[in-house]
Structure 1
Amino acid sequence: MDLLSGQPYWFYKNGIIHSYPNQPENTTTDVILMGGGITGALIANALVKAGLRVVMVEKRHIGLGSTSGSTALLQYEIDTDLHKLTELIGKKKAERCYIRCIEAISELHELIKKEKIEADFSLRKSLYYASSEKELPDLEKEFEARQRTGIDVEWWDKSRMRDTFPGIQKSGAIYSKNGGQVDALRLTHGLLQSDLKKGGLQIYDTVAVETITHHARSVKVTLNTGHEVSAKYLVIACGYESQEYLRRPVSVLHSTYAIISKPMPDLKPLWPDECLLWESARPYLYMRTTEDSRMLIGGKDEPFQSAGKRDRLLTRKRKQLESRAQKCMPHLPFTTDFSWCGTFAETPDGLPFIGTTDERSRTYFALGFGGNGILYSVIAAEIIRDGILQKKNEDAELFSFDRKSA
């Protein structure tokens, strides 16, 4: 099934960045990695740096699944508010999840600088505003929870919202100093090219896994080319499609929509700080800018039923997003340049599933990422690397398949 449809901006912006072969040989390696998106690229990078040999296989072209449709907001905020997550898993664990995501932004920044990758990365502040008056008490509670955790936040009242964003007439908001944005498609290719130069990584795309055979001390995959790859471990990082390899579903699918404007360089910055903007309603609307002075707005999610139904809604959703863009930013001459839709997975507690399952101890999963999947992928790379190296990772329990909130 197609993961997305329409005209995903990042593919049209970047074109074919790099090409990869699709004719592997029968081989033995340390790790087989299924999935050639941003999650797979971050995991591969961590494994190669640890001295492991990795064979990556991707059934599409590299980066052209969900990654090319990602709007790539780097938010430490989890889809479940901190004060609500505290009720689910306890104060200490909930705070650690939020702090860990803040750390992941810095870690990703350092990784991009160290690998010298051009991926339009920039640090950004963010504004999380109450969608309606009835949601204001919950947002105030969320602000207090974040303050107690030591997160650098400010409270914006109705007056400051009106003065700063006249088109967003809301009663309150949380202004955060920690956030960022990136071009996920360029980052994916940049990481993989860096790892290819280091050695230890082989990449094959447009090749599919037909069967997986599990043994006590190894895993073997048979590809649709007829070739076989054996390894000590298998890592499955195929987004929501990974669920077909699990006995029970762990996430719910949604359809999401996004549009992006034509460039408006004469108006840069497009709004104060060009901060990330998003709201408290669920599903939520979000906005960001790009390096070439475009406004991106997304949301209007629907429960996923089929790719066909998702795609048929694109025209209507585009018009709804255009209306919201013009209302929120009336000073911008917003004209849609590209529009697209995709499918993503959301877990009940807003946390990802990272690690092994009881039935397959040599298979690691990284899935169910929701709204801040890139940061969860940074965390997943470290947890999976440590698991394969048999090192203790203090955060592994937070995102395990057998956590209580799952």
Structure 2
Amino acid sequence: MRLRTFESFWLLKNGLLNSYPSLEKNISTEIIVIGGGITGALISDALISKNYKVTLLDKRDIGQGSTSATTSMLQYEIDTPLHKLADIMGEESAAECYKAGIKAIQDLGKLVGLKKIDCGFQKKRSLYCAHNKKAAEDLYKEFEIRNKYKLGVKWLTPAIVKKQYDIVSEGAILSGTAASVDAYKLTHELIRLNVKKGMQVFDQTDISEFDCRDDGVTVITKNGSRVDGKKIIFCSGFESTSLLKEKIAKLFYTYACVSEQNIAINKNIKDTLIWDTQDPYLYLRTTDDGRLLIGGEDSSNNISLFQQQKKEKKSTTLITKLGKLIPGLHFVEDFSWAGTFGSTKDGLPYIGASPEFANALFVLGFGGNGITFSVQGRSIITDLLAGKKNKLAQYYRFKR
């Protein structure tokens, strides 16, 4: 599966930070982690902290799947608004999922600080803008329920949004908890640090088959090498959907482009993640090197032959939408790219065991805030491995 187009900004910005050997022999381990993106890096870090023996495998170089294409916007918001999620699972449960997103952003900030990782992590706020009057009515309902559960929100009128951000809207929710990061760099740093602690990493190692049994798991690579373990954890995101009979996600392509450095923009935007109520929504953030990154224009068409033409067309559309959102802004595109992402029926991830496989766990953080779901997966997975109950695991279970 092709997860991104070739001109991914984060990969061009950072280059190939670390390289690891491919697997050329038979080995045994305690836990096999499949996927060397941000999810695999976060989960393996949690496992190493609990003294598990971990081997991480990826068929690409580390971080070169969807992680190199993500916009790395860290939001507690779930793609399904809280007032609609409440209709699906009840208000209290829905609010807990939203609060878990807030905690995940805070936890990731603590993790980055504790390990002294230079990955452009910046605390920010989030501005959710209504693009028309009808959307403003629904968005105000969303504000009311978020405010009821003390999620740290304010309602801003169209005049205030324009004055503070130069943004044209019909009103907006301002949230106090959000962040941005370079997920590609964070992935590499977490893995590098844990290799020093004994984790084995093999990239360019493609799996041809795996066997999940009651007494353990076995992975066979395409070159015939074998890995035996007690458990296997799939952190391979959208590619994991092909392993499961259960249809858990709808996959699509999303597009992004980034400006040249030192774009002249309202100073409040530099400290705020911004998205709107259009479908598909437009989102934007600044980067740590002074650019503006915009994204959206999701498409179900994933045919590689047409991606270059479509990417250029989508970039033009994104820039046009940006001009309507922030009139007068001079945006000069420097890079553009596309990546595969997915959505679930309720906007929630799938984290935990699937009844289809013994001794296997999955961390599949679909949606616009996949990184925060992966952070939540750290405690869910370590609790499940230790035989402990975890309330979020019930919300994110398979067969729900």
Q: Please tell me whether the aligned partners of residues 210 and 219 of structure 2 are also in contact (alpha carbons under 8 angstroms).
A: yes
Instruction: Render the CA deviation track for 1:229-282: whole Å, top value 9, x for unaligned.
Output: 0111011111111011111221001111000000016x4765445311100122
**What is the aligned partner in structure 2 of residue 257 from structure 1?**
255
**What is the aligned partner in structure 2 of residue 231 from structure 1?**
229
Task: Give the match's secondary structure for 2:5.
Answer: strand
**What is the aligned partner in structure 1 of residue 12 from structure 2?**
12
Q: Please tell me whether the aligned partners of residues 258 and 299 of structure 1 are also in contact (alpha carbons under 8 angstroms).
A: yes
Taking the aligned partners of 1:156 and 1:99, their CA distance within structure 2 comes to 21
**What is the aligned partner in structure 2 of residue 191 from structure 1?**
190
**What is the aligned partner in structure 1 of residue 311 from structure 2?**
314
Taking the aligned partners of 1:322 and 1:56, their CA distance within structure 2 comes to 39
Residue 397 of structure 1 pairs with residue 400 of structure 2 = no
Matches within 5 A, 1:193-342: 193-199=192-198, 201-264=199-262, 267=264, 270-272=267-269, 274-342=271-339
Choose the corresponding residue for 1:370, options 367, 372, 376.
367
Taking the aligned partners of 1:64 and 1:305, their CA distance within structure 2 comes to 18
| Code of the aligned partner of 2:59 | K
Taking the aligned partners of 2:301 and 2:337, their CA distance within structure 1 comes to 15
Taking the aligned partners of 2:396 and 2:24, their CA distance within structure 1 comes to 33
Q: Please tell me whether the aligned partners of residues 304 and 343 of structure 1 are also in contact (alpha carbons under 8 angstroms).
A: no
| Code of the aligned partner of 2:298 | D
Report deviation, 1:345: 1.1
Report deviation, 1:77: 0.3
Instruction: Render the CA deviation track for 1:146-179: whole Å, top value 9, x for unaligned.
Output: 001111111001211222233x321110001000
Report deviation, 1:348: 0.8
- Cα 1:311–1:356 change in 2 (3 A) is farther
Taking the aligned partners of 1:308 and 1:154, their CA distance within structure 2 comes to 45
Choose the corresponding residue for 1:353, options 341, 350, 355.
350
Taking the aligned partners of 2:168 and 2:187, their CA distance within structure 1 comes to 38
Task: Give the match's secondary structure for 1:360.
Answer: coil
Taking the aligned partners of 2:240 and 2:356, their CA distance within structure 1 comes to 15
| Code of the aligned partner of 1:350 | G
Instruction: Render the CA deviation track for 1:303-337: whole Å, top value 9, x for unaligned.
Output: 24433344431110111112223333345431100
Structure 1, unmatched stretches of 5+, are: none
When structure 1 is superposed on structure 2, of 224-233 and 325-334 the one drifting more is 325-334
Instruction: Render the CA deviation track for 1:50-86: whole Å, top value 9, x for unaligned.
Output: 1101111100110000000000000000000000000
Q: Please tell me whether the aligned partners of residues 269 and 286 of structure 2 are also in contact (alpha carbons under 8 angstroms).
A: no
- Cα 1:65–1:343 change in 2 (3 A) is same
**What is the aligned partner in structure 1 of residue 72 from structure 2?**
72
Q: Please tell me whether the aligned partners of residues 74 and 369 of structure 2 are also in contact (alpha carbons under 8 angstroms).
A: yes
| Code of the aligned partner of 2:221 | L
**What is the aligned partner in structure 2 of residue 87 from structure 1?**
87
Taking the aligned partners of 1:214 and 1:104, their CA distance within structure 2 comes to 30
Report deviation, 1:30: 0.8
Q: Please tell me whether the aligned partners of residues 265 and 329 of structure 2 are also in contact (alpha carbons under 8 angstroms).
A: no
Report deviation, 1:402: 2.7
Taking the aligned partners of 1:268 and 1:47, their CA distance within structure 2 comes to 42
Q: Please tell me whether the aligned partners of residues 212 and 358 of structure 2 are also in contact (alpha carbons under 8 angstroms).
A: no
Report deviation, 1:24: 4.2
Q: Please tell me whether the aligned partners of residues 353 and 366 of structure 1 are also in contact (alpha carbons under 8 angstroms).
A: yes
**What is the aligned partner in structure 1 of residue 378 from structure 2?**
381
**What is the aligned partner in structure 1 of residue 173 from structure 2?**
174
- Cα 1:316–1:270 change in 2 (3 A) is farther
Task: Give the match's secondary structure for 2:20.
Answer: coil
Task: Give the match's secondary structure for 2:348.
Answer: coil
Task: Give the match's secondary structure for 1:369.
Answer: coil
- Cα 1:268–1:169 change in 2 (3 A) is closer
**What is the aligned partner in structure 1 of residue 96 from structure 2?**
96
| Code of the aligned partner of 1:253 | L
Task: Give the match's secondary structure for 1:179.
Answer: strand
Taking the aligned partners of 1:317 and 1:220, their CA distance within structure 2 comes to 43
Task: Give the match's secondary structure for 1:32.
Answer: strand
Structure 2, unmatched stretches of 5+, are: none
Task: Give the match's secondary structure for 1:140.
Answer: helix
Aligned alpha-carbon RMSD (Å):
1.5
Q: Please tell me whether the aligned partners of residues 58 and 204 of structure 2 are also in contact (alpha carbons under 8 angstroms).
A: yes
Moved over 6 A (4+): none
Alignment size in residue pairs: 400
Q: TM-score, normalised by structure 1?
A: 0.95
Q: Please tell me whether the aligned partners of residues 75 and 178 of structure 2 are also in contact (alpha carbons under 8 angstroms).
A: yes
Matches within 5 A, 1:41-80: 41-80=41-80
| Code of the aligned partner of 1:188 | T
When structure 1 is superposed on structure 2, of 94-103 and 302-311 the one drifting more is 302-311
Q: TM-score, normalised by structure 2?
A: 0.97
| Code of the aligned partner of 1:320 | T
Task: Give the match's secondary structure for 1:71.
Answer: coil
Q: Please tell me whether the aligned partners of residues 270 and 289 of structure 1 are also in contact (alpha carbons under 8 angstroms).
A: no
Task: Give the match's secondary structure for 2:230.
Answer: strand
